[in-house]
Amino acid sequence: MDSLKYYILIAGKLFLLSCILSFSSCIKDDFSPLPPFSKANLENTVSFSDSLKTYFEGVYEMQNGNTPLGGKFVAKWKHGTLCLFSEKDGQYVNLEVGFNPNDSSFRMAGIWRSPINNEQGQIEFTIAKEEGAISIFNHSGQGIIMNGMIDGSSISLAFTRPFSNSVLSRDFALLAHRGGGRNSDNLPYAENSINLVKFAEKLGATGIDIDIRLTKDHIPVIYHDADINTRLTQKSPIVGNIDQYSYDFLKSYIKLVDGQSIPTMEDMLMTAIDSTELNYVWLDCKDGGKDNFFNIVVPVAQKAIAHANSKGRNIFIFFGLPTDDAYEKFLAFPNHQGLPSLCELSLEKAKNAGSKIFGPRWTLGILTDDTEDAHANNIKIFTWTLDDETGISDVITKSQYDGILSNYPSILAYQFYSQE
């Protein structure tokens, strides 16, 4: 009888596992890598002065071409890459740019991609001497015409105006959720991964939000959910919560959906500091209600902040307090008011915690009174997690908020930089 019960138990577990694997087969577990592109248009080009790059920036309109990209764009340099962000669904273009001294033209080649649909391709442009190259050397964008090809079809963009004073005079954070977006979107890399954070600026972000969990051996790692699942990781027989396993075990046996390892908090912060020009890192303290959480993560953050300061990096790293439990643990931590933090719970609690940022969810609407009160107390306001284009536009144009967290930073970028 005992043997029969044993085999029934084993059979039940195997059936359950088969159901889980069957269900997970419909969960995204692979990613479309960025497309290859020809660099033929960049042949015979050389680098040029960074002082000229600002004159490429501004608002452009489609002159000719039947493309999936939409009709209006903003151009912004991001960490050495010229990025175009479209009015249509946050589609973006990443371009390498060089100067061809043989004909005094600027040549470009790169990729375009949709953050929503599984669409992408290659694209190239040329700014001829008499179609804007001379203007750039004369410190103006007026007259720029970008003629080129997108997936074999001709395309032409015209510069219409530089960024408005509303853009140039406002310090506004464009924050990418989970390091750049969610796995359910058309990302080239897994959410909360090293490679995605390296790419976040090319999606339009000036800052990122990343999620902190603790392993069994108290190593802070970057991972959104409490449990190991096929939404975030490749299929494996390992089940349970992150805090049931040591970091070495997770590194050896668990891979994110694109094959990367779950990163440590330290590695992620060093990547953001050393390999990007991001200005904000929001550390969402998912396990913030656990005992000793802040004793473990604060030294890691302080080490990273010291490293950033030694390099002269303009990057603000702060703890996000998403729950009452995390808030109470933070208040109990010695000298917590000297630690950079964001409180999601209320403005009064943000003041009480010494937080530099209040983070209301977007469903609360625009909090005009709280904004005035916060700014009077030198507290910024970042709202989350806002993906709707109309809602994003309203926050940018109708509020005095200081930043938005979104799964679509390319939509944020277009809405912010296209302001009149």
Q: pLDDT digit string (tens) for 204-237?
A: 999 999 999 999 999 999 999 999 999 999 999 9
**Per-residue pLDDT for 4 more than 50?**
no
Look at residue 33 in the predicted model and tell me its pLDDT: 93
In whole angstroms, what is the distance from residue 384 CA to residue 136 CA? 38
Select from 337, 273, 263, 265 the least CA-distant residue to 305: 273
Look at residue 62 in the predicted model and tell me its pLDDT: 97
Beta bridge partner(s), residue 341: 319
- The beta-strand segments (E) located in 286-413 are 316-321, 341-343, 357-358, 380-383, 403-406
Percent of the chain clearing pLDDT 70 (strictly above): 93
Q: Domain 166-418 sits in which CATH superfamily?
A: Phosphatidylinositol (PI) phosphodiesterase (3.20.20.190)
Lowest mean pLDDT segment, chosen from 12-16, 273-277, 384-388 = 12-16
**Per-residue pLDDT for 402 more than 60?**
yes
pLDDT band at 142 (very low <50, low <70, confident <90, very high): very high
Select from 241, 282, 289 the least CA-distant residue to 265: 282
**Is the domain defined by 40-162 classed in CATH 2.60.40?**
no
Q: What's the whole-number mean pLDDT along residues 290-303? A: 99
Average pLDDT over all residues of the chain: 94
Q: What's the whole-number mean pLDDT along residues 359-373? A: 98
pLDDT band at 321 (very low <50, low <70, confident <90, very high): very high
Look at residue 30 in the predicted model and tell me its pLDDT: 55
**Per-residue pLDDT for 371 more than 70?**
yes
Per-domain boundaries in the chain? 40-162, 166-418
Give the CA distances from residue 373 to residues 262, 341, 346, in Å, rounded to whole numbers and listed in that order: 40, 18, 12
Tokens encoding 384? 């989350």
Look at residue 124 in the predicted model and tell me its pLDDT: 98
Look at residue 68 in the predicted model and tell me its pLDDT: 87
Q: Which has the higher per-residue pLDDT, 78 or 11?
A: 78
Q: What's the whole-number mean pLDDT along residues 306-311? A: 99
Look at residue 24 in the predicted model and tell me its pLDDT: 40
**Per-residue pLDDT for 22 more than 60?**
no
**Per-residue pLDDT for 72 more than 80?**
yes
The answer to whether residues 224 and 236 touch, using CB atoms and an 8 Å cutoff, is no
Using one digit for the tens of pLDDT, what is the confidence trace for 250-272?
999 999 999 999 999 999 999 99
Secondary structure class of 334 (helix, strand, coil): coil
Using one digit for the tens of pLDDT, what is the confidence trace for 114-127?
999 999 999 999 99
